Amino acid sequence: MVKHSPQHQKAQQSGRRRPPQPRKQDIVRQPVKPLSREDVAWVKSMIVFEDALIMGFNKPSGLSSQGGRGDGLNLDDMMFAFARSNGKRPNLIHRLDRDTSGILLVAKTHPATSFLGKALARRAFAKTYLCVVSNPDGLPDKGTIEVPLRREEIGRESYSRVCDPDHAEAQAARTDFEVFEPHERCRPGQCSPYTGRMHQIRVHLAHVGAPIAGDVRYRTAALSLDGFPRQAADAACPRPDLSPPGRW
């Protein structure tokens, strides 16, 4: 027998119907604050690819994908620069860390958003991150780091932590990496995350003793490279119109 709350029973007895709720895709969001002409010009200058379904943006280091610190704009807010007359606007398919530069894909229609979201969930995306690792001694030229991670909240900040596989909050995480010719105390390299945990590459590399240069959050002893973006990313994914996969 299904039990209902007193409030639900009272509503049923009154004979009143619940008003129809708007579908998620029908809810029109509003910008946090108006975009200036300079903001619009800036976000348009980031476009590296566009067709009827997808846009690709070269997100700079220092710009948050969503949310972010303070009351500054993020890339998600800036999608209102492309809003249609009905108020609907493109949707981010994935995110990059604030200090990571690289390609970020955006869907222009609801069907494209749904298609690419499902493709991301089934790991049909191929993402590659370029980085510079410090303390590379002992790191093999190529390998896989497969260590579970858990999320931790400290105040308003979120962190990823390495944890035991049997931890209640453990999430499987795998990163494939390859490093190239060494240069003094660092080596350039590339990483391909099979899973998409928060800060995954940064935490995995710090865990094996080769933190990303400039990443003070997860390893204070990491080599500093002033003015160099922490990572640069490109992406490949299936296309909603079933044409050959795109790479950006």
Q: Which residues are catalytic?
A: 97
Would you list the DSSP string of 178-242? EE-S-BTTEEEEEEEESS--TTHHHHHHHHTT-PBTT-TTT-TTSPP-TT--SEEEEEEE--TT-
Q: Are 197 and 160 a contacting pair, CB within 8 Å?
A: yes
164 DSSP 8-state letter = -
171 DSSP 8-state letter = B
With residue 88 as reference, give the H or E element that holds it. none
Q: Are 64 and 74 a contacting pair, CB within 8 Å?
A: yes
Burial degree of 110 (CB within 10 A; 0-12, 13-18, 19+): middle
Q: How far, in Å, CA of 188 to CA of 229, rounded?
A: 13
**Ramachandran region, residue 70 (left: φ > 0; alpha: ψ -120 to 50; beta: rest):** left
Q: How far, in Å, CA of 193 to CA of 23, rounded?
A: 33
